[in-house]
Amino acid sequence: MYAWIDGELLADPEAGVISVTDHGFTVGDGVFEAVKVIDGRPFALDLHLARLVRSATGLGLDAPDRDAV
């Protein structure tokens, strides 16, 4: 089995093992935001990012780094 995990291709069949009870495997929580862009500039970006952080935190996920976004 091959798996792409944390930026690396793993060819070892045991290296990419995920427990069937792993929360990310069984549920796959995620948070998404869409931002309107007008003339190449994001509209109300601060409000969108605040909502993104609030949603992620509410699900118990790590909040994204605003500078990375």
Question: If you average pLDDT over residues 50-65, what whole number do you get?
Answer: 90
pTM score of the predicted model: 0.62
pLDDT, tens digit (0-9, with 9 covering 90-100), for 3-45: 777 777 877 766 667 778 877 778 888 888 999 999 999 999 9
The whole-angstrom separation of Cα 10 and Cα 16 is 7
pLDDT value for 40 = 95
Among candidates 25, 35, 24, 33, which has minimal Cα distance to 54? 33
Inter-residue contact 25 to 17 (CB < 8 Å) = no
